[in-house]
Amino acid sequence: MNKKAIAIKCAKAAFIGLVLLLLYAPILLLAVYSFLDTDVIGTSGDFSFVHYRALFTDSKVLTMIGNTFGLAFASAALSTVLGTLGALGIFYSKKRVKASMNAVSRIPIINAEIVTALALAITFVAFGLPKSYFTLLIGHMVICTPFVVLSVMPKLKQMDNSLYEAALDLGASPAKALFKVVLPQIIPGVISGFMLAITLSLDDYIVTFYTRPSGFETISTYVFSATTRGNAHTAATLSSFWALTTIIFVVILIVVISANLAGRRKDKTEVRR
Amino acid sequence: MRLRFSRKTLGIPYAIFLLFFVIIPMLVIIFYAFTDKEMHISFDNFVRFFSDPTKLSTIVYSLVIALITTAVCLLIAYPVAYILARSKMKKKFVILLLFVTPMWINFVLRVNAIRELLNWVGLLGEANYFNTIFGMVYDFLPFMILPLYTTLLKIDESLYEASADLGGNGFTTFTRITLPLSMPGIASGITMVFLPSMTNYVVSDMLGNSKVTIIGKFIYEYFGTNWHMGSMVALILLIVVFLSTWLTGGFKEENTVRGANI
């Protein structure tokens, strides 16, 4: 390899490295300061778990973390059931029904979140439905379910359809054939749809804000109002978010790495066979 | 006769769900946009909105912010996607994954992290427009990288070789081969960055010191005061979305799932 090629290679690596550094700078900054006993970034401090202790002893913070995860699991579970059934229904429908349901199902995906949120909020009021946990759940299902449909659909297309027919011929009821034959073939899509629904729900601010019952806080709404209004919140509350961000970052890192290692290992064993 | 079980019927709950919580809300928005407070049909909302000079200047600012954000994202994402797509490294998916991982942290916490960084550097409250654009680029960059990467990866290596054999230099190869063939990725990247940069007011509120207003924020403001005006803004955004999806050749499923399928 000549000198020019090496120089180009280094320049490429440096560029990628620089963008990654910028991308991770804010998170790493918070991660470092989450272990120091100072409330102001830039000042020095001693190593301490004070922000983590604050995070886990503040009952308001604990409630909103519980709310966030409870809502994410509930809406993801409901979205997965609804979306999987929906994908099956769409897949076996005639052309015109298929096309129109697919088109409508895409609206929440391509639409700006604020438009979905406003439309839902006004509709709830117009039909006399007061904001409650139910409306919040519906709001999250509207943003999650289309993604479940999207991740189940490719598995249905890959599926060997004759297996279902064979099960019926061998005397299985349609319901049994669906559970024992179709479901095992599409389950990877169902699981990834569920995971996607959880992350979408955890991430959401806008739809939550417009459909939640009053007083219900999630991580998103709590942090947003704490940072933009700032009045009733002390620096200590803000610095406990550093600890929260660090914990979430580490958990995500572990999940992403292990999911990928597991995925690659499976690929390898499949190749070996 | 006994009703025969059909697999089509499994889709009925989802069809009803879509009818009640997707189609009807859109119709409600359209209805509110074209009525006044007494529920009479009227086009006043449009006229009032577009004849308000302060609103118009905010729209222009918002469009400029979105344009700059999209352009900067493209300028950063294109080289990243190109280098990764053409790299012969075996573990390049790990690096791509590193670009996507921050997207899985809660959005508001991520913006808060940028806020703390900007505060530390001393920019918070000083350079509101810069901060807003910085935050948007940071948050929406992966939306640009993913579609670019998938289209660039699909370009056949032999096309580059053919171009070189026929005497094309690096520049010609880029303008005649790489760029035209990556157009679908560029188009879907642009739509996926431009729209949230016009509407996601979380970033502009948290980083712009509440001095930066974008189009999405109008909806928030009208939500407390005038639903008819709010619906009208929402309807305009809805039309923009449909036009841009239609113009860029429809919607690409593979790019919407945040890299869950890398």
Confidence (pLDDT) at A50: 83
Domain-embedded: residue A170: yes
Confidence (pLDDT) at B252: 57
The number of folded domains in chain A is: 2
Determine contact: A225 vs chain B, CB below 8 A: no
Looking at per-residue confidence, does A258 or B78 come out higher?
B78
Confidence (pLDDT) at A89: 92
Confidence (pLDDT) at B4: 57
Instruction: Verify whether the Cβ–Cβ distance A219 to B79 is below 8 Å.
Output: no
At residue A41, what are phi and psi to the nearest 5 degrees? -70, 135
Provide the chain A residues 162-181 that lie in CB contact (below 8 A) with chain B. Answer: 174-175, 178
Domain-embedded: residue A40: no
Assigned token pair, B143 = 């939306």
Residues A34-49: pLDDT tens digits?
A: 888 877 777 777 888 8
- Counting Cβ atoms within 10 Å, is residue A235 exposed (0-12), middle (13-18) or buried (19+)? exposed
Domain-embedded: residue A35: no
Instruction: Verify whether the Cβ–Cβ distance A108 to B22 is below 8 Å.
Output: yes
Q: How far apart are alpha carbons B177 and B170 in whole angstroms? A: 10
Query: Tokens 């009818």 sit at which residue?
Result: B19
Provide the chain A residues 63-102 that lie in CB contact (below 8 A) with chain B. Answer: 82-83, 85-86, 88-90, 92-94, 97, 101
Domain-embedded: residue A251: no
Instruction: Verify whether the Cβ–Cβ distance A107 to B26 is below 8 Å.
Output: yes
- Band (B1; pLDDT cuts 50, 70, 90): very low
Find, among B160, B111, B149, the residue nearest to B131 by Cα.
B111
Least confident piece of the model among A230-244, B108-122, B182-196: A230-244
Contacts of B15 in chain A (CB under 8 A): 86, 89, 101
Please say whether the beta carbons of B109 and A223 come within 8 A.
Answer: yes
Contacts of A224 in chain B (CB under 8 A): 108, 202, 205-206
Residues A16 and A95 in one domain: no
Report the gap between the CA of A192 and the closest CA in chain B (Å).
8
Q: Helix (H, G, I), strand (E, B), or coil: what is residue A47?
A: strand
The end-to-end CA distance of chain A, in Å, is 38
Instruction: Verify whether the Cβ–Cβ distance B28 to A122 is below 8 Å.
Output: yes
Provide the chain A residues 26-65 that lie in CB contact (below 8 A) with chain B. Answer: 26-27, 29-30, 33, 41-42
Among the partner-chain residues B200, B201, B257, the one whose CB lies closest to the CB of A150 is: B257
Asked whether the CA dihedral B165, B167, B169, B171 is positive or negative, the reply is negative
Q: Which residue of A has its CA nearest to B215?
A: A114
Confidence (pLDDT) at B261: 45
Q: How far apart are alpha carbons A12 and B112 in whole angstroms? A: 30
Distance of CA B228 to the CA centre of its chain: 25
Confidence (pLDDT) at A1: 61
- Give the mean model confidence (pLDDT) for residues B163-172: 82
Q: Which of A12, A122, A185, A239 to substitute to test the interface with B, most B CBs within 10 Å?
A: A122
Confidence (pLDDT) at A55: 83
Assigned token pair, A161 = 């359809």
Confidence (pLDDT) at A270: 46
Determine contact: A193 vs chain B, CB below 8 A: no
Residues A115 and A169 in one domain: yes
Domain-embedded: residue A43: no
Among the partner-chain residues A92, A115, A202, the one whose CB lies closest to the CB of B106 is: A202
User: Which residues, 6+ apart, have CB-to-CB distance to A99 below 8 Å?
Assistant: none
Domain-embedded: residue A141: yes
Residues A20 and A148 in one domain: no
List residues bridging with B35 in a β-sheet: B41
Confidence (pLDDT) at A58: 83
Least confident piece of the model among A8-22, A173-187, B71-85, B244-258: B244-258
Residues A4 and A128 in one domain: no
Confidence (pLDDT) at A153: 92
Confidence (pLDDT) at A80: 96
| Identity of residue A266 | K
Q: Which residue of A has its CA nearest to B236?
A: A115
Q: Which residue of A has its CA nearest to B137?
A: A23
Residues A123 and A228 in one domain: yes
Looking at per-residue confidence, does B241 or A210 come out higher?
A210
Among the partner-chain residues A42, A220, A228, the one whose CB lies closest to the CB of B210 is: A228
Contacts of B108 in chain A (CB under 8 A): 205, 219-220, 223-224
Please say whether the beta carbons of B206 and B244 come within 8 A.
Answer: no
Domain-embedded: residue A96: yes
At residue A179, what are phi and psi to the nearest 5 degrees? -70, -40
Q: How far apart are alpha carbons B82 and B74 in whole angstroms? A: 12
Looking at per-residue confidence, does B1 or B182 come out higher?
B182
- Counting Cβ atoms within 10 Å, is residue B184 exposed (0-12), middle (13-18) or buried (19+)? middle
Instruction: Verify whether the Cβ–Cβ distance A228 to B251 is below 8 Å.
Output: no
Query: Tokens 């407390």 sit at which residue?
Result: B224
Q: How far apart are alpha carbons B149 and B127 in whole angstroms? A: 32
Confidence (pLDDT) at B188: 85
Instruction: Verify whether the Cβ–Cβ distance A175 to B5 is below 8 Å.
Output: yes
Domain with A142, as residue range(s), is 62-232
List residues bridging with B41 in a β-sheet: B35
Residues A115 and A1 in one domain: no
Residues A8 and A74 in one domain: no
Q: Which residue of B has its CA nearest to A123?
A: B25
Mean confidence (pLDDT) of chain B: 85
Query: Within a 10 A sphere around the Cβ of A113, how many other Cβ atoms?
Result: 20
Residues A17 and A67 in one domain: no
- Give the mean model confidence (pLDDT) for residues B239-244: 85
Confidence (pLDDT) at A187: 93
- Stated length of chain B: 262
Domain-embedded: residue A264: no
Q: Helix (H, G, I), strand (E, B), or coil: what is residue A9?
A: helix
Contacts of B115 in chain A (CB under 8 A): 227
Q: How far apart are alpha carbons B171 and B179 in whole angstroms? A: 10
Find, among A175, A159, A192, A182, the residue nearest to A83 by Cα.
A192
Q: How far apart are alpha carbons B87 and A4 in whole angstroms? A: 17
pTM, rounded to two decimals: 0.87
Residues A67 and A2 in one domain: no
Instruction: Verify whether the Cβ–Cβ distance A22 to B138 is below 8 Å.
Output: yes
Please say whether the beta carbons of B142 and B251 come within 8 A.
Answer: no
| Identity of residue A218 | T
* CATH code of the domain covering residue A84: 1.10.3720.10
Residues A123 and A227 in one domain: yes
Contacts of A211 in chain B (CB under 8 A): none
Buried b (16+ CB within 10 A) or exposed e, B192-211: bbbbbbbbbbbbbbbbbbee
Residues A1 and A91 in one domain: no
Determine contact: A192 vs chain B, CB below 8 A: yes
User: Which residues, 6+ apart, have CB-to-CB distance to B247 below 8 Å?
Assistant: none
List residues bridging with B126 in a β-sheet: none
The end-to-end CA distance of chain B, in Å, is 49
Confidence (pLDDT) at A100: 92
Residues A77 and A209 in one domain: yes
Please identify every stretch of chain A with a pLDDT value under 70, giving residue numbers as ranges.
1, 230-236, 263-273
Assigned token pair, A167 = 């099960």
Q: How far apart are alpha carbons B130 and B132 in whole angstroms? A: 5
- Rounded (10°) CA dihedral A79, A82, A88, A90: -90
Buried b (16+ CB within 10 A) or exposed e, A216-228: bbbbbbbbbbbbe
Residue A198 CA: distances (Å) to CA of A141, A193, A243, B228, B253: 10, 9, 21, 33, 19
Please say whether the beta carbons of A116 and A108 come within 8 A.
Answer: yes
Residue B250 has pLDDT above 80, yes or no: no
At residue A43, what are phi and psi to the nearest 5 degrees? -90, 160
